[in-house]
Each structure stands twice: as C-alpha cells, then as structure tokens.
Amino acid sequence: MLKYLLISIIYIAPLAHADIYKYVDEQGNVTFSNIPMRNAQRILAEPGAMIPAPRSRGNAAPRERSPQTATPGNFPRVDAATQKSRDSNRHLILNEELSNEQKNLANARRLLSEAESSKTPEEKASPQKYVEKIGRIRNNMTLHEKNISALQSEISRLR
C-alpha cells in the first residue's frame, strides 16, 4: 500500500492542475494517472484552477519575492482543529505503514536466513533457481528498507 501511496504522490505532485484518474485492475493494483483509462474513476477535476502569471511592468525594478505566495481568495480553507485532526490521522497512518514495513522487512530477513541455511533438492539440482530465489528475497528486503527510510523521513517532517 505504501508503494502505491508514494507512486501516487510522485505522479500527482507535478499534475496539480490536471484531472486525475484512479484505476483498479483485476489483481487490486491501484494506478493513478492524468490519462483517462477505461473503467477509471475521475477523482480530481479542477476546471479553471490555473492562475495566470502576473504581468511584468516593463522597466520596473524586480521586486524581491516573499517566501510565501498569496493564497487565492476562492481557495478552500479549513479551521485549525480540522487541520490538526487531519495531521494527526496522517501521522497515525504513516506510523501504521512504518510498522507494517518493519514487520515485512523482518519477515524477508527470516526468509533469507532460511533460504541461505537450507537448499531444496530442486535448488541443489539447479543452482540458478537458488540464486534467483535469493535475489528475489534480497530485492524484496531492499524495497522494504527503502520504504522504511521514506516513511521515517516523512514522519520526521511532520514534527
């Protein structure tokens, strides 16, 4: 699930002013895209949300930009309590995902230890199968380690 969350964040961020579509395939894999697909559900549509750039003043001296940009008047706002609740929920979700990834990493390490300590008769007969199995387990471990790192980084930004 974390993988899909990170992928959706990566794809959604540059497309902030586009329609976003969610597609779930037969295996339950979720795909987010700005390209309409058959049986996809449109989850974000922002017609006219683009804000034109300010016009230059010709020979006027360039102003220093403030670190914050002005929020458009029609931009939806939430009260502090609602935002705090959302931040709290996000923190809980990220911690739950971190816990799941840590369990998955521990399981992958256990599988690697078991695979390295004993070979099946089939693997003894075909060493290539053993090497492929070990490679898959190590790739899985690397994925979980990267997910843990990304989650820890995201959680640290919340505080």
Reference 120, options 111, 129, 112; nearest CA is 129
Read off the pLDDT of residues 90-139 as tens digits, 9 standing for 90 and up.
999 999 999 999 999 999 999 999 988 888 888 888 888 888 989 999 99
Residue with tokens 């020979």: 59
Q: Which residues pair with 30 in a beta bridge?
A: 24
| Bridge-based pairing state of the strands 30-33 and 20-24 | antiparallel
pTM check: above 0.85: no
Q: How many CA atoms lie within 13 A of 60 on its CB side?
A: 7
* DSSP per-residue codes, 45-61: --TT---PPPPP-TTSP
Q: What is the predicted pLDDT for the residue at 104?
A: 94
Kindly list the distances between the CA atom of residue 101 and the CA atoms of 26, 28, 87, in Å, as whole numbers in the listed order.
24, 19, 21
Residue 51 has pLDDT above 60, yes or no: no
- Burial group, residue 30, by CB count within 10 angstroms (0-12, 13-18, 19+): middle
41, 29 Cβ separation under 8 angstroms: no
